[in-house]
Amino acid sequence: MAKTKIAQSSEGQVIDQVVEIIRFMGENKLAEIDLETSQLKLKLKKHGNVQAQTFQMPMNQSYMPAMPLLEQQAASRAQTAESAAAPKPVPADDKYHKILSPMAGTFYRAPSPTSEVFCKEGDTVKAGQTVCIVEAMKMMNEIKSDKAGKIVKIMIENGKPVDKGSALFQLGE
């Protein structure tokens, strides 16, 4: 597999790649990104008001993708375009409030595989309470309930991909 060769690029190409990473962060509403290769260490953090709270979990190096950064971005854009073209499932019952995913990523019900889930069907949650995590680009984003209520239905299976705007939970009174 190909590896990213940022250090062997000219200085202008490195700057262009950093600008592309910043643009990618903005398009995907990422608050922070850490990139480390054998030749480069880059950490970008957005200041200001951020909706989703993020924290980074230690990841085994073997899970890091080996394709070049620009190929990763192109693959991500293609996946986003495909998911935007696919029809979104509409739940049959619109009387419930829905907690929506603010970003595309992977849905997790617990902070780690061995931890207890944030909430279960039938649980009552408060506004601002963490209900799940959506992982996007190796960043774990806590998703909080925007309204108090009872979890009527969990719409996504643990570990499955979600699109921006996908319904994660249905809340009742």
Q: What is the pLDDT at residue 23?
A: 78
User: Which pLDDT belongs to residue 93?
Assistant: 58
Give CA–CA dist 140/113, Å, rounded. 13
pLDDT recorded at residue 64: 46
Ordered per-residue pLDDT tens for the chain, 173 residues: 444 444 444 566 777 777 777 777 777 777 788 777 766 677 777 765 444 545 555 554 444 444 455 555 556 665 655 555 544 444 445 789 999 999 999 999 999 889 999 999 999 999 999 999 999 988 999 999 999 999 999 999 999 999 999 999 999 98
Q: What pLDDT does 74 receive?
A: 56
**DSSP states of the chain as a string?**
------TTS-HHHHHHHHHHHHHHHHHTT-SEEEEE-SS-EEEEE--S--SSEEE-----GGGS--S-HHHHHHHHHHHHHHHHHSPPP--S-TTSEEEEPSSSEEEESSSSTTSPPS--TT-EE-TT-EEEEEEETTEEEEEE-SS-EEEEEE-S-TT-EE-TT-EEEEEE-
Write down the domain spans for the chain: 11-85, 97-172
Q: What is the pLDDT of residue 121?
A: 94
Q: What 3-state DSSP class applies to 105? A: strand
Q: Which fold has domain 97-172?
A: OB fold (Dihydrolipoamide Acetyltransferase, E2P) (2.40.50)
